[in-house]
Amino acid sequence: MSLLLVRNARIFAPEPLGTRHLLLGGGRILWIGTDPLELPSALGSETIDLEGRRLIPGLIDGHVHVTGGGGEAGFRTRVPPLGISRFTRAGITTVVGLLGTDDVARGPRELLATLYALRDEGLSAYGYAGGYHVPPTTLTGSIRGDLVFVDALIGVGEIAVSDHRSSQPTLDELLRIASEAHVAGLMTGKAGILHLHLGDGARGLDLVRRALDGSELPARVFHPTHVNRRKALFEEALALAARGSTIDITAFPVEDGEDAWSAADALLRHLDSDAPDTHVTVSSDAGGCLPCFDADGHVSHMDVGDAGALLATLAELVARGVPLERALPAFTSNPARLLRLGAKGRITVGADADLVALDEAGMAHDVIAGGVMHVRAGRQVRAGTFEPAA
C-alpha cells in the first residue's frame, strides 16, 4: 500500500474547508488535518505540495460512450473506444458507460469488457444495462438480472424517448423497464435508475410525467438526460426536478442563437429555480457522435463528445461569478448521491482518494484516481495500455 501525503490543498469538499493537508493510502483518504504530518521514512511515503491550489473531488461523468458511440452515418462513423487519459486529464475519475443508437453492432459484453479494462487501468467505471432501444439489450435476459448479478451495472439506459431514433416506447413498456431497474436497485443497493435519452421531439417529457402520474414508482427512478437541448424541454425538466427526479444536463457545444442552453446556462437556471439544488447532474456524452450537417442536410463531418467539457463548464461558471462550492455538486456529490456511490463525490476521511487540483484557469493541474497520480503538474504520468507512454 503506497502512501501519498498531499500538502497545502485548498479543499472544496464541495463545501470550502480551507487549506489542509491530506494523507492517502489504500485508495482512500485516511486523514485530513491542519498541522503538517511527519511520517517515519520506513513507510516510504511520497509527498506532493499543491501550494494552495483548489482541490476538488474527482468528477463523476454519468454519461459516457466508453466503447465509442456513433454509427449513425454508416459503419465508418462508429467512434473508437476512449483511452483512460481522455478522462483523467479532464479531471474525471468515475464514469458511467453506456450504449446509444448502436446497441446491435455493440452490446453489453463489449461495454463490460471496456469498463473492466478502465478499472484495471485505475478508473472507477460503472455502466448501464440496455441502450436506446426496447426491448433493451441485456446480458442475462432481463434488466433485473443484469443489475442483480453484474457487478458494474447500476441502472438502465440510455433508453431513447421523443426521438426518431428511439423504439417509440409505449407508456407500459417504459413502466416495465423502470420497475425492473427500481426493484433491482432495492435488491442490491445500487442506483436502480432509468437513464433516459431525450431527443428533439415535441412530446418532450410527456411519457415520464404520465409514468409518474400512473404508477407507484418514486420520481428518483427517472433520470432524463440532454434536457438542455431545447429551451422548452428544459422548463419541463425543471418541473420534473421539483417533483423529485434528478435531471442531467449535457455539456455539448451550443451555437449562438440555437434553441438550446449551454451546460453553464442550464445549470445556472436550475440553481435559480425552485427545484432542489441536489437534483441536477452534468455529464459529457464523451465518445458520443456529434454529426455536423452541410446546407443540404448531409453529414459533412463528425465531431466526438469531449470529456473536457465538464471542467470547461465548471471553469466557465466560476468565471461568471458562481462560487465553486455552488457549481461543484452537480459534477460530484449530486451524481454520487443519485448513483448511490457512497465513497465518491466528496472529500472526507474514508472516501475514495479521487481528487483533482485545479490550476488558475480551472483546468486539471493534478489528478489522483484511487490514490494513484495520473496527472502531475499538468502532465499525464499514467496512460492506458494502448495509449502513448506517459
Applying CB under 5 A, the residues found at the interface with Zn ion are 158, 197
- Smallest distance from the beta carbon of 197 to Zn ion, in angstroms? 4
Cβ neighbours for 205, distance < 8 A, ≥ 6 positions apart:
162, 198, 224, 227, 233, 236, 237, 240
Is residue 285 annotated as a catalytic residue, yes or no?
yes
Nearest to 277 by CA among 225, 327, 342: 327
- Smallest distance from the beta carbon of 199 to Zn ion, in angstroms? 8
Residue 186 buriedness (CB in 10 A; 0-12 / 13-18 / 19+): exposed
Whether 191 and 152 have beta carbons less than 8 Å apart is answered as no
Give the residue with the Cβ less far from Zn ion, 197 or 337. Answer: 197
Q: For residue 159, what are the CA distances in angstroms to 71, 95, 123, 210?
A: 17, 18, 25, 16
Give the residue with the Cβ less far from Zn ion, 196 or 324. Answer: 196
- Smallest distance from the beta carbon of 321 to Zn ion, in angstroms? 31
Give the residue with the Cβ less far from Zn ion, 14 or 70. Answer: 70
Helix axes 231-242, 263-271, angle to 10 degrees: 40
Whole-angstrom distance, CA of residue 11 vs CA of residue 325 = 10
Report the residue closest to Zn ion, judged by CB. 197
User: Strand ranges (DSSP E) for the chain?
Assistant: 3-12, 16-25, 28-33, 46-49, 54-57, 59-64, 92-97, 124-129, 153-161, 193-198, 222-225, 247-250, 280-283, 289-293, 299-304, 355-358, 364-369, 372-376, 379-380
Longest pairwise C-alpha distance within the chain: 69
Whether 303 and 309 have beta carbons less than 8 Å apart is answered as no
- Smallest distance from the beta carbon of 150 to Zn ion, in angstroms? 22
Give the residue with the Cβ less far from Zn ion, 6 or 205. Answer: 205
Whole-angstrom distance, CA of residue 236 vs CA of residue 275 = 11
Q: Before 135, cis peptide (omega within 30)?
A: yes
Whether 27 and 351 have beta carbons less than 8 Å apart is answered as no
- Smallest distance from the beta carbon of 233 to Zn ion, in angstroms? 13
DSSP secondary structure letter of residue 41: G
Nearest-Å Rg of the Cα atoms of the chain is 20
Give the residue with the Cβ less far from Zn ion, 288 or 345. Answer: 288
Which residue in 61, 102, 265, 285 is the catalytic one? Answer: 285
- Smallest distance from the beta carbon of 151 to Zn ion, in angstroms? 24
Give the residue with the Cβ less far from Zn ion, 29 or 289. Answer: 289
Give the residue with the Cβ less far from Zn ion, 89 or 197. Answer: 197
Nearest to 383 by CA among 372, 133, 135, 18: 372
SS3 of 102, please?
Answer: coil
- Smallest distance from the beta carbon of 181 to Zn ion, in angstroms? 17
Whole-angstrom distance, CA of residue 273 vs CA of residue 243 = 13
Active site residues: 285
